[in-house]
Amino acid sequence: MSEDKKKTTKASSKKNVAESQDTSKQPAKTTANRKAEKEKIESAKARKAEEKTKAAKEAKEKTKTETKKQTVAKKVKKEAVQSEDIETGAKTNETESEENAFAKQLKEADVKQYDDTIQQEKIGEKEDLAKSKVYTANIDGKGRSYGTGKRKSSIARVWIKPGKGQIVVNKKESSDYFKRAILEKVINKPFEITQNKGKFDVFATLKGGGLSGQADALKYGISKALHEYNPSGFRDLLKQAGLLTRDTRKVERKKYGHHKARKSHQFCKR
C-alpha cells in the first residue's frame, strides 16, 4: 500500500511540475495575442463606428432630400391654390362689384323716386294746407282791426279803420312825431304795396327804442292790421314783401372787459 501511495504521489508531482512549466511558457504567448486581439477589436469598433456614421449621414441626406421635395411640393401646391383663389377672388370681386354697382344704381333710383314722391307729397300737403287754411277778417265793433309790431326794443300797438289816411302816433300826427320824410316813407310802405294809400286811418301807441326802431315797429304793426282787415286780398302781397315776418336783429349786449359788445381796450405790452 505504501508503494502504491508513493507512485501516485510521484505521478502527481510530475504532473504539477509539467503544468508549472506550461504556465511559465504561456504568459509570453498571451500578451502578444492579447495585443493583437485588442488591435483587431479596436479596428472592428472603428469600422463599425465609421459604418454607423456613414449610415447616419446617408439617412440625414435622404431625410433632407425628402423634406426638400416635400417643401417644394407644398410650395407648388400653395402657389397653385393661391393662383386659383386669386382667380376665383377676382371673378367673385368682379361679380360682386357688378352686383354692387347694379344695387347702388337701383338704390339711387329708389332714393330719387322716394325723395321725389316725398317732395311732391310735401308740396301737395302745403298746397292743401294753404287751401284748407282759411284766414278770416278780424274786425271789432267799431270797424277797426288790430296788429302789433316789434323792432329792436320798440313795440307798436296799431289800430286801423277805413278813413282819409290820417296817422296818429302817441296822440300826435306822424309828421310831427317822426319829423323825417324817410321814416314817413317807411310807415306808408304797407299802404303802397297794397295800393291803399290814403284809405285807412291809423291810431298807434309806441314804446321803447328810438325813432327808426319805432318807425319799423309801426310798419310791421300796420301790415299785420291790414292782414287782419282783409287777409284774402292783402296776405300774398304783404308776405312777398316780407312785411309779415319780424326783423329779429338787435344790438348785441355789452361784454365785461370790453368797451362795447366786441370793441376791446387798446393793447399795451408794458
7-33 per-position pLDDT tens digit: 555 555 655 545 555 444 444 447 777
Residues of the chain with pLDDT under 50: 1, 17, 22-29
In a domain, 261, yes or no: no
User: Do the Cβ atoms of 244 and 223 come closer than 8 Å?
Assistant: yes
List, for residues 109-161, the tens digit of each pLDDT value: 777 777 788 888 888 777 776 666 778 889 999 999 999 999 999 999 999 99
Check which CATH number belongs to the domain holding 205 and give it.
Answer: 3.30.230.10
Residue 220 inside a domain? The answer is yes
Mean pLDDT, all residues of the chain: 83
Which of 73, 101, 133 is the last residue in one of the domains? 133
- Which of 100, 133, 166 lies at the terminal end of a domain, its last residue? 133
Number of compact structural domains in the chain: 2
Structural domain harbouring 122: 1-133
- Which residue matches cell numbers 309801426? 218
CA quadruple 253, 256, 262, 266: dihedral, nearest 10: 150
Which among 133, 160, 195 is the end of a domain?
A: 133
Are 238 and 149 in contact, with CB atoms under 8 Å apart? no
Whether residues 161 and 235 share a domain: the answer is: yes
Q: In terms of domains, do 122 and 190 share one?
A: no
* pLDDT more than 90, % of the chain: 47
The answer on 101 and 19 residing in a single domain is yes
Q: Is residue 252 part of a domain?
A: no
- pLDDT value of residue 251: 92
